[in-house]
């Protein structure tokens, strides 16, 4: 959360100002292919029209757009400075995806305990560059900036810690670099953005995935022998694009009752929404749940179609099974990705399971009733998906 930038009177007229701010701050004027400009223009127009920004929200939103454009410029500057990055192989990456709040984060961070994997740390998603040695990270102003922004965000919205805690040094989601294309679902999540959302739903994201793949190569170029571990719920809507950039991916798709998962997502998103907009909280929450249920129901149907063309490349993990028998789930995953579990790694995995670090910031509490929808209404758009995976929670 960055409050250091004064927002313009009209966002839609500030696209040149936006680039000038980033250039003045970084000295960088190359923002890569101009395919990002259409989305950026639509986003800025939407920011004038859709949200009822609070004064703080307006500053935060402007700082967020600046930060993402800065990250894009830094990525392309780093690519120029490291011309050999594109030779970095991305062999059979392990990719975790699924409807949000289905255990993707817990599974991702658990598998990241295995030192044979490399991932996308939060600060490197903000400022893509070849990953330096971990003992030097605190020396980088980019790392310190991410730390400061996260601290400010959790100071403003303490409940967000329990819902989805992030740390600069931990692995995070691919969507944070995908949004540098400005054609991204994320731009419809932080504040009311109906006009941007309507535009986004009709746009291809091929360019975003090409940029993302280059950033993965760039960040991992110093660790060419380490296998990639990636995670992003949004990949289930774009499995075709994921397989296009990483053809031999091994995808783990997580599943949970949408009547539990999607309201949890809305509860998480409303933590930021409440900072960004001061009014209409109930209406915004209800609109958001309607939007997210429809979006993720569509995403799982798209994923089903793509999966049929990639037999043997997707493993299903049920949220309840993972939480009840985590080591059994890990055994299945390691078999699927063709890796063993050395004893020292097994011990580290068991220790993290026992410590349950995801709960150290409190329990995330929410109710679908708070968002004007019943469980039956949330499940209906998913059709036979819930029955196929036996997702309605029951005593086990």
- For the chain, give every domain's residue range: 11-388
Taking the C-alpha atoms of residue 307 and residue 159, their distance in angstroms, rounded to an integer, is 36
Angle of the 343-355 helix axis to the 104-111 helix axis, nearest 10? 140
Q: Tell me the average pLDDT across 32-42.
A: 98
pLDDT at res. 354: 92
Largest distance between two CA atoms of the chain: 59
Q: Cα-atom radius of gyration of the chain, to the nearest Å?
A: 20
Within 10 angstroms of residue 66's Cβ, the number of other Cβ atoms is 20
Residue 284: closest CA among 52, 49, 65: 52
Taking the C-alpha atoms of residue 80 and residue 58, their distance in angstroms, rounded to an integer, is 34
Flag the least confident range among 51-65, 250-264, 268-282. 268-282
> What would the pLDDT profile of 121-156 be if each residue is shown by its tens digit?
999 999 999 999 999 999 999 999 888 887 887 676
Confidence of residue 209 (pLDDT cuts 50, 70, 90): very high
pLDDT at res. 135: 95
pLDDT at res. 88: 81
Q: Cβ(103)–Cβ(319) under 8 Å?
A: yes
> What would the pLDDT profile of 213-228 be if each residue is shown by its tens digit?
999 999 999 999 999 9
Residue found under tokens 């400075």: 81
Domain 11-388 listed as CATH 3.40.190.170: no
Q: Cβ(127)–Cβ(285) under 8 Å?
A: no
Q: Where are the alpha helices (DSSP H) in the chain?
A: 15-26, 37-49, 55-81, 104-111, 122-126, 141-156, 159-163, 175-178, 194-200, 206-219, 239-245, 258-276, 281-307, 319-324, 326-337, 343-355, 375-379, 385-388
Taking the C-alpha atoms of residue 150 and residue 153, their distance in angstroms, rounded to an integer, is 5
> What would the pLDDT profile of 299-312 be if each residue is shown by its tens digit?
999 999 999 999 99
As a whole number of Å, the end-to-end CA separation of the chain is 42
Residue 159 has pLDDT above 70, yes or no: no
């Amino acid at each position: 959360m960055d409050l250091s930038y004064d927002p313009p009177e009209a966002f839609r007229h500030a696209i040149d100002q936006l680039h000038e701010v980033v250039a003045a701050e970084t000295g960088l004027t190359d923002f890569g292919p101009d395919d990002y400009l259409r989305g950026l223009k639509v986003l800025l127009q939407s920011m004038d029209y859709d949200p009822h920004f609070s004064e703080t929200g307006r500053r935060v939103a402007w700082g967020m757009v600046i930060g993402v454009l800065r990250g894009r410029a830094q990525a392309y500057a780093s690519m120029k400075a490291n011309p050999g990055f594109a030779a970095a192989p991305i062999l059979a990456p392990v990719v975790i995806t699924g409807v949000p709040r289905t255990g993707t984060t817990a599974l991702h961070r658990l598998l990241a305990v295995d030192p044979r994997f490399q991932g996308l740390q939060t600060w490197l998603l903000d400022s893509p560059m070849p990953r330096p040695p971990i003992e030097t990270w605190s020396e980088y102003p980019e790392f310190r900036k991410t730390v400061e922004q996260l601290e400010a965000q959790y100071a403003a919205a303490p409940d967000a810690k329990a819902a989805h805690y992030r740390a600069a040094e931990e692995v995070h989601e691919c969507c944070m670099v995908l949004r540098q294309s400005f054609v991204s679902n994320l731009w419809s999540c932080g504040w009311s953005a109906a006009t941007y959302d309507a535009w986004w739903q009709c746009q291809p994201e091929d360019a975003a995935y090409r940029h993302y793949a280059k950033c993965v190569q760039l960040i991992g170029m110093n660790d060419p022998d380490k296998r990639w571990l990636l995670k992003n719920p949004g990949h289930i809507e774009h499995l075709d694009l994921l397989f296009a950039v990483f053809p031999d991916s091994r995808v783990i798709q997580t599943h949970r009752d949408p009547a539990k998962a999607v309201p949890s997502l809305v509860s998480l998103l409303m933590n930021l929404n409440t900072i960004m907009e001061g009014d209409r909280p109930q209406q915004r929450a209800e609109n958001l749940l309607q939007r997210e249920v429809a979006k993720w129901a569509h995403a799982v149907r798209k994923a089903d179609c793509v999966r049929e063309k990639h037999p043997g490349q997707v493993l299903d993990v049920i949220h309840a099974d993972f939480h009840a028998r985590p080591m059994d789930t890990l055994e299945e995953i390691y078999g699927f990705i063709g890796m063993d579990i050395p004893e020292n790694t097994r011990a580290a995995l068991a220790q993290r399971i026992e410590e349950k670090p995801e709960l150290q910031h409190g329990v995330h509490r929410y109710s679908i009733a708070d968002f004007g929808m019943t469980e039956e209404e949330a499940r209906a758009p998913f059709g036979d998906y819930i029955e196929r995976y036996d997702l309605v929670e029951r005593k086990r």
